[in-house]
Amino acid sequence: MKPAKKSVHLKRRGAVLIISMIFILIFSALAVSMATLSDANVQLASNQHKVNSALLAAQSGLDITRFWLSRVLISGKTNPADRFQLVIASLNNDLQENGISNISTYSDGSSVIIPSVTLDSEAQQSFSARITPLDDTCRVDVTGQCGSITRTIRVIYQFDETANTVFDFGVATKGPLSLSGNIDLEGVNVSVDASVYIESENSNLALSIIGNSQIAGDVKIVNPIASVSLQGGQAGIGGETGTDAIDNHVSFGVPPSSFPEPSPGDFAAYATNILDPNTDTSADATFENLKIPAGFNPTFSGHVTLKGIVFIEPPNVVTFTGTTDITAIIVGNGSIEEESETNQLIFQGTVNSSSVDQLPNEEQFEEIRSQTGTFVMAPGFRLSFGGDFETISGAIAGSGITFFGNAGGTIRGSIINYSDEEMDLSGNSDLYFNRSGLTECPAGFVPELVLLYNPESYSEITL
């Protein structure tokens, strides 16, 4: 039997190669597409990173700008039209005094420009700013940059009044302070109300406490090489004595605070009743809106009642030896630079003080009743208190201040000494400071203007 023959069909050669090439092309196209998509994603991520970095640079610039603008202080008497120029001058002076060389300003006529400030050279981050005056406000545009990407933040600053920082202390003196005898400086509500600020730039002995005298609050001293002398077992600060009192409650080399600018001339128009040189000042008498002309040097020895404004022209030595009831602001029309023995205000008797908002509802007191917060404002006058008082209804400011004998009581405000000479408290002059709720600048002192950032004005814009 013959074997069966098998039928053999010849296969087409090269089909597998073609299919392989097709798949290679497909996968290559997919690879190229994925690579292209990946590059696009990387580029998008890089761009988004730069956008975020630019915005972060703008926010950093905003914080830096806020810091320096928050330090700007100008007089509250500044004409609104001149405020912006003084703001920039104050900013430039502050930058220069602190050795800041990488931040500068220039004007383009309508705005002040802070040119590019490098934040991170490797990341190519920087910021610039434009400060533009708008009526009684300032607009600040801060532009952050990362590479070629920029983002801008816009905010508004408003002018706002602030009381001088020395009103945060019970006693603030440019000269040294001396306590001797049985002196207590206490806070009525909290001990910080009796804190003390001393500049003492011309004397290295800034504070001397002798005997049983105590300061309840802490002491801040500007002079970095100043010293404090405590003599006597009970001489103390902040409730402690000896080296513990100094180590724990005295700070040296603190930044200087701003003393208030007095403006005694603001009260001149209210003093319409001129003291007659023939007046018997030894008799009991009532004076309203009194003006004491220069050179009178009166001594009031009777029971005297003062209402409204007492305006004293220099030179003058005005003395009260009897009981004095005061619902008034006593104003010495001197200047801070003037320190003369010919200008004095002396209280040797009992003082009963009330705030001017307690004045009668009469026409001559209409504008005075709102002028609260000040008892005596007498730059260029030496002030001496030797009698007792229950409450002094406002701040006391002069150029040389002395408390002696049994002078003491509650002071509703601060004691401000403009003199570089020693301020002396002696005898049994216990002073109790009550500064609770005092937030406004006392009458007659020029408040300072600050630039207040308005957080609600924050916006991200496209320039």
Q: Note the pLDDT tens digit of each residue in 324-358.
A: 999 999 999 999 888 777 999 999 999 999 999 99
What pLDDT, in 10s, does the model give residues 121-132? 888 999 999 999
What pLDDT, in 10s, does the model give residues 229-265? 999 778 999 999 999 999 999 999 998 888 989 999 9
Q: From the CB of residue 92, how many other CB atoms can be counted at a distance below 10 Å?
A: 16
In the chain, pLDDT over 90 holds for what percent of residues? Answer: 69
pLDDT at 178: 96
DSSP structural state of residue 147: T
Q: CA-CA distance, 363 to 358, in Å (whole number)?
A: 14
Alpha carbon 114 to chain centroid distance? Answer: 25
- Give 415's pLDDT tier (boundaries 50, 70, 90): very high
What pLDDT, in 10s, does the model give residues 73-117? 888 888 888 999 999 999 999 999 999 999 999 999 899 999 999
Amino acid occupying residue 440: E
Please list, in sequence order, all residues whose beta carbon lies within 8 angstroms of the beta carbon of residue 287, skipping any fewer than 6 positions away: 273, 275, 304, 305, 306, 307, 310
CA atoms within 13 A on the CB side of 151: 21
Percent composition of the chain: helix, strand, coil (DSSP 3-state, to 5): 20, 40, 40
**Average pLDDT value for residue range 434-451:** 86
SS3 83: helix
pLDDT at 36: 62
pLDDT greater at residue 25 or residue 375: 375
What pLDDT, in 10s, does the model give residues 264-297? 999 999 999 999 999 999 999 999 999 999 999 9
What pLDDT, in 10s, does the model give residues 136-193? 899 999 999 998 899 999 999 999 887 668 898 999 999 999 999 889 999 999 999 9
Q: CA-CA distance, 167 to 449, in Å (whole number)?
A: 15
Of the listed ranges 158-172, 194-208, 221-235, 315-329, the one predicted with least confidence: 158-172
* Cα dihedral 80, 110, 128, 103 sign: negative
pLDDT at 147: 87
pLDDT at 75: 86
Please list, in sequence order, all residues whose beta carbon lies within 8 angstroms of the beta carbon of residue 432, skipping any fewer than 6 positions away: 186, 187, 188, 194, 408, 409, 410, 411
Beta carbons of 102 and 119 less than 8 angstroms apart: no
What pLDDT, in 10s, does the model give residues 11-63? 556 676 777 777 777 777 776 666 666 555 555 555 667 788 899 999 999 99
CA atoms within 13 A on the CB side of 223: 19
pLDDT at 9: 53
Of the listed ranges 44-48, 296-300, 359-363, 388-392, the one predicted with least confidence: 44-48
Residue located via tokens 């400086």: 185
Domain extents in the chain: 49-163+449-461, 167-445
